[in-house]
Structure formats: structure tokens, C-alpha cells
Amino acid sequence: MGLAVILIGIQFFQPLRNQSDEVPATHIEKVYSVPQNVNAILAQSCYDCHSNNTSYPWYSRIQPGAWYLAEHIKKGKEELNFSEFGEYSARKQRSKLRAMSGQIKDGEMPLSSYTLIHRNAILSEEDKQILMKWFGAMEDSIK
Amino acid sequence: MKNLTLSIIAVTMAFITVSCNQVSNKNEQSSNDTSDVSQEQTVSQPNGGDTIAAPGVSETPNGQQTTATEQEKKFSIAPIVTDYLSLKNALVSDNDKAAASAGKKLLATLNKVDLKAIPADKHKQYMEIADDAKEHAEHINENVGNIHHQREHLAVLGEGLKDLIELFGTTQTLYQNHCPMFNDGKGAVWFSENKEIKNPYYGSKMMTCGKVEKTITGK
């Protein structure tokens, strides 16, 4: 009984949503020319946690899941935020591009806890190659 | 039913208490800003320029100012080099746990650096290197059990250290070494205190792989 009450009670406390209508000037798409196929993969598999605009599923309103999600997004954006990529120093950009490539190569990103629900975020072998190739070329091009 | 009402009240109260605390914290801080000068100093320390700009801080900071100028002449990356070397050595011996604690130590050292001691013309470059290095140190600390990942971060740290040495020199003689295989064959740099090659990127698998590219004599 007590638990049920708490569960109902916490539904009234929703975390702030990570959503924005405009693409900021510091977004990676604005700073660099991102090929369309790369952009599609990034939007599908990365932007939910690594940008200022999450596309939320309906169940994201259900607590305590919403807090869990908000925490994830917060952590994700601290590590890497594509919406703020243009604010990073050249060094940090290179370093992030290399890290992204490594994470994808090792299959650590997207997180398995995320792809468990977001099946369409799973990267195919081809997706991985496209991303790693682009990240690598970008890393070499930024001086 | 009584339980229900009680629980709702409890939950609501909990939230109100939390938010009230935050408000009162803010109040405390702002009152510190105006009334208690010495407190204000400790609060604003991580935030560089604030201390100088703050009105009425004339007594204690004068003392600090002199030490700052003394340090400016002496600014040295030696503590960073020391921590880098112990991190590097942990990875040479394939020890992910030791690497993690060395990463933590490096992070602490980077956080302790007195930014005011850095010459103004090198400040921006230092900040960029240090900000990036902090992230790598943090990740190395968080990745016990994933030594490969720790090594990837060491490779980027090595590049940062290379730039730091170019900017500020080194008091300790160091060897700049090159591992041709790491990073998908793109190669990686590392620094060592001895001339003998001990590869931190592959450890016991390929201990003697790599070569000395440069000797940087300590001054």
C-alpha cells in the first residue's frame, strides 16, 4: 500500500525535459558539414543522450523511469554534447572524435541499456564503418 | 486511507524541504559575498579573477599576490610529469588498478594547479590541454577492468604532455618515444624517465616495441 502511494506520488514530480526546437549555432551540423548518411545515424543512435534535443518515447513520463532517463541524459551530455560541439577547443574536438571512434569500435556505445528499448538505435556493421571513417577523417582535419 | 494521505504529505514535505534548503543555501552564499570577506575568498577560489575583482579584499590577498608572482617564475609541470610517469608505469606493468589510482592522482594534481602562476600568454593553451587531460585522467580512473580503454586515454594524454613540455619545458630529463602500432596503426607517443623501451600501450605483450624519438634534457 505504502509503495503504491509513493509510486503515485512521484508521478507528480517530473524532471525537466531535454528538448529544444532550434539547432544552436554550436551544433556539430552547423560547425562542420556532416554528410547526410552520417547525420542520420547520429540522430538515430546518439542525439537522444548527446544533444540538447531528446526524442522521448511515451513511457518516458512514467516515474521513476523518467528520473533514470534524465540522469542518463545529463551524464551523456557532460561527456559529449553534439549541440555544443562548436564550443569545444580544437583539442577537445579531436579528442572526442577519437573517443567516439573507439567507443563504437569496441561496441560500448550506444549503451546496451539504451538499445535494449531503442532497437532502432543499434548500429549495424555498416553504420559503424561509416561513423568510424568519418570520425577518423574529421579528427585528422581539425588542427 | 490514512496511510495514503500521510504518505502524500510525507513526499510533498520531502520535496519542499529539499527546495527550501536550496534556497537557503543560495541566501547563505550571497550573504557571505557581502559581509564575510574571508569566507568569500574561499568560495570564489576556483573562479580565478573573482578574488581580484571583489571589493574590499585588500589585506590577505596582498600576501597571496606576492606568492603568486614568485610562483610565476617557477611555474613547472613537474607534478604533472610525475603523475603521468606513474600512470604510464602502471600500464607498462599491465596493472589497471594502479593505473586507475594514478589517473585519480593526476586529476587531483591538475585540479590543484595554481592557474595564476601560469604566464598570461600561455594561459589559454594550458587551459585547453588541462581541461582535456582532466577528462582522460577521470576516464582512466573509472575504467578498472578495461585496460585497453585506459591505454587509449594515455595516448591522448601523451599528446597533451608533449605540448605542455613544448610550452613550459621539463625539469626532469625525459625520453619521447613512439609506438608505431597503437591507435589503429596511426601510432602513439609516450614519455619515459629511462631510455630503455618499456611499452605502456601493449605492456608484457610487446614490451620492447617502439623507439626513442627524442631526448628532452631537463633544465
Give the number of beta-carbon pairs within 8 Å between A and B.
40
In what side-by-side order are the strands of the sheet with B174-179?
A: B188-192, B174-179, B211-216
Q: Do B129 and A91 touch (CB under 8 A)?
A: yes
Does the CB of A3 have a partner CB in chain B at under 8 Å? Answer: no
Q: How far is B11 from chain A (nearest CA, A)?
A: 7
With 60 as the cut, is the pLDDT of residue A73 above it?
yes
Residue B167's CB is within 10 A of a number of other CB atoms, namely 15
For chain A, the 3-state helix, strand and coil shares in percent, each to the nearest 5, are 65, 0, 35
> Is residue B68 situated within a structural domain?
no
Q: Which of chain B's residues have a Cβ under 8 Å away from the Cβ of A89?
A: 128, 131-132
> Is residue B162 situated within a structural domain?
yes
Q: What is the pLDDT of residue B62?
A: 47
Owning domain of residue B207: 76-216
With 50 as the cut, is the pLDDT of residue A129 above it?
yes
Task: Give which of B204, B198, B208 is closest to B85, Cα–Cα.
Answer: B198
With 90 as the cut, is the pLDDT of residue A42 above it?
yes
On the CB side of B81, CA atoms within 13 Å amount to: 22
With 70 as the cut, is the pLDDT of residue A68 above it?
yes
> Is residue B193 situated within a structural domain?
yes
* C-alpha–C-alpha distance, residues B150 and B91, integer Å: 8
Does the CB of A107 have a partner CB in chain B at under 8 Å? Answer: no
Are B168 and B75 spatial neighbours (Cβ–Cβ below 8 Å)?
yes
Report which residue type is found at A109.
M
Residue B161's CB is within 10 A of a number of other CB atoms, namely 25
With 90 as the cut, is the pLDDT of residue A98 above it?
yes
Task: Give which of A47, A61, A38, A102 is closest to B151, Cα–Cα.
Answer: A102
Under 8 Å CB-to-CB from B82, ≥6 apart: which residues?
A: B109
The per-residue pLDDT of chain A, averaged, comes to 89
Q: Do B152 and A13 touch (CB under 8 A)?
A: no
* C-alpha–C-alpha distance, residues A138 and A35, integer Å: 12
Q: CA B210, B211, B213, B217 torsion: positive or negative? A: positive
Q: Mean pLDDT in each 10-residue stretch from start to end of chain B (219 residues)?
A: 48 44 42 42 42 42 47 77 96 95 95 90 93 95 94 95 93 95 91 94 93 91
* C-alpha–C-alpha distance, residues B97 and B99, integer Å: 5
Task: Give which of A127, A13, A18 is closest to A78, Cα–Cα.
Answer: A18
- Facing residues of B178 across strands? B189, B211
Are B161 and B81 spatial neighbours (Cβ–Cβ below 8 Å)?
yes
Under 8 Å CB-to-CB from A17, ≥6 apart: which residues?
A: A54, A56
Does the CB of A13 have a partner CB in chain B at under 8 Å? Answer: yes
The three three-digit cell numbers of residue B191, written as one number: 614519455
Q: What is the pLDDT of residue A16?
A: 77
Which of B11, B128, B156 is facing A6, going by the closest CB pair?
A: B11
Under 8 Å CB-to-CB from B195, ≥6 apart: which residues?
A: B175, B212, B215
Does the CB of A89 have a partner CB in chain B at under 8 Å? Answer: yes
Report which residue type is found at B92.
V
Q: What is the pLDDT of residue B79?
A: 93
Under 8 Å CB-to-CB from B102, ≥6 apart: which residues?
A: B83, B86, B87, B90, B140
Q: What is the pLDDT of residue A2?
A: 84
Q: Is A63 helix (H, G, I), strand (E, B) or coil?
A: coil
* C-alpha–C-alpha distance, residues B124 and B106, integer Å: 20
Cell 526546437, located at residue: A21
Interface mutation vs chain A, best among B13, B128, B162, most A CBs within 10 Å = B128
Under 8 Å CB-to-CB from B130, ≥6 apart: which residues?
A: B110, B113
Which of A2, A92, A106 is facing B132, going by the closest CB pair?
A: A92
Interface mutation vs chain A, best among B5, B131, B132, most A CBs within 10 Å = B132
Q: Which of chain B's residues have a Cβ under 8 Å away from the Cβ of A11?
A: none
At A3, which helix (H) or strand (E)? helix A2-10
Q: What is the mean pLDDT of residues A77-106?
A: 94
**Number of domains making up chain B:** 1
Q: What is the pLDDT of residue B6?
A: 47
Which of B4, B135, B152 is facing A102, going by the closest CB pair?
A: B152
Closest CA in chain B for residue A79 = B135
Cell 613537474, located at residue: B78
